[in-house]
């Protein structure tokens, strides 16, 4: 009867959306590094920690208002306690453990073992309780019991909680943890050194009335101060034997310091690329809009150089580390990832719909471009894909793979050859306009219906007359280009005027076009 009730409750919770939604919300807030609002929560918690430490320091020599102590001892502790409980709840799913046990028993034709499910739940929760971070969390709540004066010192455990909220501190821990074995060896070596030197100095100095090293504690204190090359000088050996021990310890101390330094430096050196990669992924994730360029070829380099004028960030995905390095040397944001792999996009957590303006496929082979296009199309149908086509025979395949726009350099050169041979000046004019090599450019101006009168009036204005050419207006509704439009021509919202003029003059035209009131 109880088992049935437990299983039913577990299934209910597992499928109850408000419950699952709240669980996801708290998971995002506490654990998901990519959740956009997590940083505010982290900043809030760090603020509480610093406030707590400030109150502790201030309370040493000053009488504090009662409200401050109440806030420190109860409010902050309560917040930390709630956080602890939330993490305890999120660490493992009880309903899932019960359901898994139930389904397993059902499959094996056995009665549901509630005790086994409880055991699994208990094991999982204890795993959390005894994890170092959870223990720090628990100790940080201790100041709640402020009546025990000693427990006030547990406020300092709150400082350790900073590791939870500050990413750089977490990174430091992860770097150092990669050298666990070396650090452990160093600790053991240092402890042996301290033990041996403490005993030796105690034996040499303790019975000498002129020596200040009289107890074993004095000996240990002296050893630690000496081995770490601090040497306060409050305790010094006076016997010959003691001084010989001191010399040995000083030399060993340098070895300890060098060993420790080399461990930290090598850990950072080894993880440097990983850290850089992580930072880059973070910066990609923070982008609200971008062009995604797949493949870093010479053409890609040239395209990116031109696109930079648009001030939209560009992210490059390239498998070849040498090319990635080359891109980075040029100050570009390049990631060493295979653009044809689904894993890449799940790892980068790219939101195609909201972050990516367009994907430009510039691999040096049609095969790679098609493969990448198919991968991206599996993730989204809405993004616009641009690709270079290397062999005209593959044109249809590229379209089948979901490309929206294809550029074939061979065909372009062929078509240009025709025009360049027949009308070299005309070709030069159009090429110069498009390449934006001079101050005169060809540009698009998006129009609105209420701009009609202003648009034609501006064209007649002395500032623009003779110096501002409107090639035509493209009607987005009719999908027709109206060359050399007559002032009677109607303008609809979204119509696009194609103009040729000086860059500055086009900007001025745009400004005046959008300005209200008289010209």
Partner 1 sequence: MKPHCAAIFGYNEYSKQIVKQIRGVYENVGVFVIDEEEFLEAQNDGIVADRFDLSDNWQSIEAQFDVEGLIVFCALADDAENVFLTISLRATFDKLFIIALAQDNESMMKMKSAGADKVMPILQIAANVINDILTKPIMTQVLHDVLYEDSLLSIIEIEVKDASPLNGQYLHELHFKRDFDLILLAIVDQELATTFSFASKGHNHHIDAGDILVFMGYTEKLNAIKQWNDGVSV
Distances (CA, A) of 266 to 228, 252, 277: 21, 21, 18
CA distance 343 to 255: 45
Cβ atoms of 235 and 204 closer than 8 Å? no
Task: Tell the smallest beta-carbon distance from residue 158 to partner 1 (Å).
Answer: 51
CA distance 143 to 81: 11
428 binds partner 1 (CB under 8 A): yes
Among 129, 196, 248, 420, binds partner 1 (CB under 8 A): 420
Among 13, 186, 430, 489, binds partner 1 (CB under 8 A): 430
Cβ atoms of 472 and 498 closer than 8 Å? yes
**Which region among 38-46, 179-187, 208-216, 436-444 touches partner 1 (by CB under 8 A)?**
436-444
472 binds partner 1 (CB under 8 A): yes
263 binds partner 1 (CB under 8 A): no
SS (H, E, C) 367-396: HHHHHHHHHHHHHCCCCCEEEEECCHHHHH
Minimal CA–CA distance to 390: which of 364, 361, 370?
Answer: 364
Among 417, 461, 515, 519, binds partner 1 (CB under 8 A): 417
Among 132, 321, 424, 493, binds partner 1 (CB under 8 A): 424
443 binds partner 1 (CB under 8 A): yes
What residues from 140 to 179 belong to the interface with partner 1 (CB under 8 A)?
A: none
501 binds partner 1 (CB under 8 A): yes
Task: Tell the smallest beta-carbon distance from residue 378 to partner 1 (Å).
Answer: 23
Among 434, 503, 514, 515, binds partner 1 (CB under 8 A): 434
Token pair recorded at residue 339: 């653009």
Strands 440-446 and 496-502: antiparallel
496 binds partner 1 (CB under 8 A): yes
What residues from 269 to 308 belong to the interface with partner 1 (CB under 8 A)?
A: 291, 298-299, 302-303, 305-307
What residues from 67 to 126 belong to the interface with partner 1 (CB under 8 A)?
A: none
Specify the residue for token string 């496929």.
361
What stretches of 16-161 show up as alpha helix (H) in DSSP?
17-30, 38-61, 66-70, 77-91, 94-107, 114-129, 132-141, 155-160
Task: Quote the Cα angle for 104-109-113, to 5°.
Answer: 55
39 binds partner 1 (CB under 8 A): no
3-class DSSP assignment, residue 292 = strand
Environment class of 269 (CB within 10 Å of its CB; exposed 0-12, middle 13-18, buried 19+): exposed
Specify the residue for token string 């790892």.
347
471 binds partner 1 (CB under 8 A): yes
- Cα-to-chain-centroid distance, residue 20: 26
Specify the residue for token string 């000053």.
62
Task: Tell the smallest beta-carbon distance from residue 388 to partner 1 (Å).
Answer: 7
**Which region among 46-54, 256-264, 421-429, 511-519 touches partner 1 (by CB under 8 A)?**
421-429
**DSSP H or E stretch at residue 294:** strand 290-294
Among 149, 251, 425, 518, binds partner 1 (CB under 8 A): 425
Q: Which pairs with CB-CB distance under 8 Å and at least 24 residues apart come from 118-121?
A: 121/92, 121/94, 121/97
43 binds partner 1 (CB under 8 A): no
SS (H, E, C) 233-260: CCCCCCCHHHHHHHHHHHHHHHHHHHHH
- Give φ, ψ of 470 to 5 degrees: -100, 110
Among 41, 71, 84, 386, binds partner 1 (CB under 8 A): 386
Minimal CA–CA distance to 376: which of 391, 364, 386, 390?
Answer: 386
484 binds partner 1 (CB under 8 A): yes
Task: Tell the smallest beta-carbon distance from residue 159 to partner 1 (Å).
Answer: 50
Task: Tell the smallest beta-carbon distance from residue 472 to partner 1 (Å).
Answer: 7
Among 234, 444, 450, 478, binds partner 1 (CB under 8 A): 444
Task: Tell the smallest beta-carbon distance from residue 327 to partner 1 (Å).
Answer: 15
* Closer CB to partner 1, 240 or 479, in the complex: 479
Site string for partner 1, 395-414 (x = CB under 8 A): ----------x-x-xxxxxx
Among 326, 498, 510, 513, binds partner 1 (CB under 8 A): 498
388 binds partner 1 (CB under 8 A): yes
Residues in the site for partner 1, rule: CB under 8 A?
A: 291, 298-299, 302-303, 305-307, 310, 358, 360, 386, 388, 391-392, 405, 407, 409-431, 433-435, 438, 440, 442-444, 466-469, 471-472, 474, 481, 483-484, 496, 498, 500-502
């Amino acid at each position: 009867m109880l088992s049935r009730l437990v299983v039913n409750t577990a299934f209910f919770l597992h499928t109850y959306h408000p419950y699952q939604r709240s669980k996801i919300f708290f998971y995002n807030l506490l654990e998901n590094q990519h959740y956009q609002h997590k940083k505010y929560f982290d900043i809030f918690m760090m603020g509480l920690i610093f406030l707590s430490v400030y109150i502790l320091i201030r309370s040493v020599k000053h009488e504090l208002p009662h409200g401050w102590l109440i806030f420190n001892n109860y409010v902050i502790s309560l917040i930390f306690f709630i956080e602890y409980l939330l993490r305890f709840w999120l660490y493992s799913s009880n309903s899932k453990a019960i359901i898994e046990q139930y389904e397993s028993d059902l499959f094996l034709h056995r009665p549901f073992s509630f005790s086994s499910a409880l055991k699994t739940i208990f094991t999982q929760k204890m795993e959390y309780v005894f994890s170092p971070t959870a223990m720090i969390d628990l100790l940080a709540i201790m100041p709640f019991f402020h009546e025990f004066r000693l427990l006030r010192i547990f406020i300092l455990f709150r400082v350790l909680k900073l590791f939870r909220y500050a990413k750089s501190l977490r990174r430091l821990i992860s770097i150092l943890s990669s050298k666990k074995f070396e650090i452990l060896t160093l600790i053991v070596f240092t402890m042996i050194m301290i033990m041996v030197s403490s005993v030796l100095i105690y034996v040499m100095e303790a019975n000498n009335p002129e020596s200040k090293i009289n107890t074993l504690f004095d000996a240990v204190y002296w050893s630690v101060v000496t081995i770490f090359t601090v040497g306060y000088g409050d305790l010094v050996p006076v016997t010959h034997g003691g001084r010989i021990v001191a010399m040995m310890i000083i030399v060993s101390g340098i070895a300890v310091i060098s060993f420790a330094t080399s461990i930290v430096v090598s850990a950072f050196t080894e993880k440097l690329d990983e850290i850089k990669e992580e930072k880059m992924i973070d910066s990609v994730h923070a982008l609200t809009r971008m062009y995604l360029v797949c493949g870093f070829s010479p053409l890609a380099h040239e395209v990116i150089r031109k696109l930079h004028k648009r001030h939209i960030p560009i992210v490059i995905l390239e498998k070849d580390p040498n090319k990635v390095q080359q891109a980075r040397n040029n100050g570009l944001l390049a990631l060493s990832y295979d653009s044809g792999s689904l894993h890449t996009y799940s790892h980068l957590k790219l939101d195609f719909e909201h972050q990516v303006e367009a994907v430009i496929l510039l691999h040096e082979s049609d095969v790679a471009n098609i493969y990448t296009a198919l991968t991206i199309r599996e993730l989204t149908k809405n993004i616009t894909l641009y690709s270079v086509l290397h062999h005209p025979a593959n044109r249809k395949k590229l379209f089948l793979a979901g490309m929206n726009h294809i550029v074939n350099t061979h065909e372009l050169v062929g078509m240009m050859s025709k025009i360049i041979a027949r009308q070299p000046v005309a070709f030069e004019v159009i090429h110069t306009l498009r390449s934006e090599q001079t101050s005169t450019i060809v540009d698009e101006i998006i129009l609105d219906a209420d701009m009609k009168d202003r648009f034609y009036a501006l064209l007649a204005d002395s500032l623009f007359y003779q110096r501002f050419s409107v090639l035509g207006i493209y009607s987005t509704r009719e999908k027709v280009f109206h060359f050399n439009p007559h002032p009677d021509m109607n303008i609809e919202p979204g119509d696009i005027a194609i103009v040729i003029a000086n860059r500055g003059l086009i900007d001025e035209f745009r400004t005046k076009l959008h300005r209200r009131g008289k010209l």
